[in-house]
Amino acid sequence: MSHPVRSPEISGVTVRDGVDLPYAVHGTGEATVLLMPTWSLVPSRWWKAQVPYLARHLRVITFDGRGSGAASRPAGATAYTDEQYAEDAAAVLDATNTDRAVVVGFSCGVAWSVHLAARHPEQVQGIFAIGASCGLSVVAPAREQFAWHGNLDTTKGWAKYNKHYWLDSGYDDFVDFFARQMFTEPHSTKQIEDVIGWAHEISPQTLADTTAGRLGLEGSVRAPLEPACAQVRCPVLVVHGTEDAVAPAAVSLELAKLTGGDLVLVKGGGHGLPARDPVKINTMIKDFAMDVARSDLSGPRSATEGTALRNPASRHTTWARAQRRPRRALFLSSPIGLGHCRRDLAVARELREHHPDLEIDWLTQPPVTRVLEEAGERVHPASSWLANESGHFEEEAGEHDLHAFQAIRRMDAIMVNNFMVFADVV
């Protein structure tokens, strides 16, 4: 699927030091999250499984980082230092009239998030860090046994992570290798294919420039991350997979230690958690951002405040035991083919024969909603949040025969969005 599940409310381009930074704003929630770019191998489309869900609860900003997506690709390593990415993020916050935001970083984007919080503490409410991999002095034995800029006599394993190999016809081989290191979990073929496809939207030279800038090579200067961590004054939540083949969990453990943040380990998780475990990551981001917003922090914390949040205002709720609630059922009816709908209506009528007090809500999409409304059934209001599945198949088919298997594979973002709607409802 080439188009996003949800179109942005606002889109634009801000320019910093001659670099075009395309951004998009989704949702209108009171709290804002900024989904940071990551290594130039992938564009902001990386967050496709997060944006639709988060935008129903929060205001969400994404942007293509320099060297990726629709952003400019300046030449040379000095254009791609950690500080450059941090200042780009600050420029995007300014361009979107965002006073403060919870910043979500993945992989290399974690380091840029920390630098942003250290350099612009008034703009960062919190940091949600996923799979931290860059900037800290933590050894990654497999990856670091080979010099990235050295002339190697092997191209096996992590020796593929090498500038000369990329520029000398080895780029495709490296991209395939790296994508498989990102997703070590079974059944990750779609995520691997996505990364491989995105990686071929940039040139090997661009990837080399962005890497040299991060490493402080070729005339660039690498700012150590440890001092920046000490300057962070906002809440920090760090998440890392225990089977991450790109960066060991020790990196995130050190990040949590240096920032006073909390650490959550995902047992069996690899590096690409936002794409491979989107339901868990989505709910964690939403809960963290809303907790930070509810804390009603008036500004950056002092060094003595630690990571504790003030208690939110008192809230009162009532919970009813199951025996005191009305009988209710949520009926999920497929929108692809009206035969399902007629069958489901017959099942609903039979259920009411056995349970006359049963209340049924339907979670579904057009054209099924039209048939249900004509039958006097109640369509759950959350149905309007569902991404259109039948429309996806119509677009995939067009005037040609439908490749059903590939059409289903390309609706991954739709399926994540619609499951998140279901999870919210139940």
**Segment 280-301, tens digit of pLDDT:** 999 999 999 999 988 855 444 4
Please enumerate in sequence order all residues whose Cβ is within 8 A of that of 303, keeping only pairs 6 or more positions apart, or say none.
233
Q: Which distant-in-sequence residues (6+ apart) come within 8 Å of 215 by Cβ?
A: 148, 149, 222
Q: How many CB atoms lie within 10 A of CB 7?
A: 9
Query: Average pLDDT in the 258-268 region?
Result: 96
Closest alpha carbon to 44 in 63, 58, 60: 63
Asked if 235 and 344 sit in the same domain, the reply is: no
Determine what percent of the chain is predicted with pLDDT higher than 90: 78
Classify residue 126: in a domain, yes or no.
Answer: yes
Of 257, 277, 297, which one is at a domain's C-terminal end? 297
- CA dihedral for 129, 134, 136, 142, sign (positive or negative): positive
Amino acid 398: pLDDT = 64
Mean pLDDT, rounded, for 43-52: 98
Q: Is residue 373 domain-shared with residue 291, that is, in the same domain?
A: no
Residues 230 and 277 in one domain: yes
Same domain, 276 and 208: yes
CA proximity to 9, closest of 96, 88, 125: 96
Residue 313 lies in a domain: no
- Inside any domain, residue 50: yes
In the predicted structure, residue 223 carries a pLDDT above the cut 60: yes
Classify residue 316: in a domain, yes or no: no
Tell me, yes or no, whether 118 and 263 share the same domain.
Answer: yes
pLDDT band at 134 (very low <50, low <70, confident <90, very high): confident
Q: What is the pLDDT of residue 309?
A: 43
Rounded to an integer, the average pLDDT of 43-65 is 98
CA–CA gap between residue 420 and residue 34 (Å, rounded): 20
What is the pTM for the complete model shown?
0.88
Is 320 a domain residue? no
Query: 280 and 420 in one domain?
Result: no
Note the pLDDT tens digit of each residue in 183-222. Answer: 999 999 999 999 999 999 999 999 999 999 999 999 999 9
Residues 197 and 345 in one domain: no
DSSP string, 232-285: --S-EEEEEETT-SSS-HHHHHHHHHHHT-EEEEETT--S-HHHHSHHHHHHHH
Which residue pairs, CB below 8 angstroms and at least 24 apart, start in 10-18?
A: 10/96, 12/95, 14/91, 14/92, 14/94, 14/95, 16/87, 16/88, 16/91, 18/72, 18/74
Q: Enter the tokens of residue 283.
A: 């709910």
Average pLDDT, the chain: 91
> Does residue 250 sit in the same domain as residue 348?
no
Residue 388 pLDDT level (bands cut at 50, 70, 90): confident
Determine the structural domain holding residue 222 and report its residue range: 10-297
402 falls within a domain: yes
Are 148 and 292 in the same domain? yes
Closest CA to 184 of 142, 243, 250: 243
> Per the domain annotation, does 203 fall within a domain?
yes
pLDDT band with cut points at 50, 70 and 90 for residue 161: very high
Query: What's residue 311's pLDDT?
Result: 43
The helix/strand/coil state of 214 is: helix
Domains in the chain, number: 2
Residue 5, in any domain of the structure: no
277 and 351 in a single domain? The answer is: no
By mean pLDDT, which of 211-215, 268-272, 406-410, 419-423 is the weakest? 406-410
Length of the chain, please? 426
Distance from chain centroid for Cα 248 = 20
Question: Hey, CA dihedral for 188, 193, 196, 201, is it positive or negative?
Answer: negative
**124 and 255 fall within a common domain:** yes
On whether both 60 and 202 belong to a single domain, the answer is yes
The mean pLDDT value for 331-339 works out to 83
pLDDT of 303 strictly over 50: no
Separation in Å, CA 315 to CA 223, 292, 293, 319, 320: 44, 16, 15, 13, 17
Question: How many CB atoms within 10 Å of residue 325?
Answer: 9
**Structural domain ending residue among the three candidates 297, 317, 348:** 297
Section 341-357 average pLDDT: 94
CATH number at residue 176: 3.40.50.1820
Asked if 41 and 195 touch (Cβ cutoff 8 Å), the reply is yes
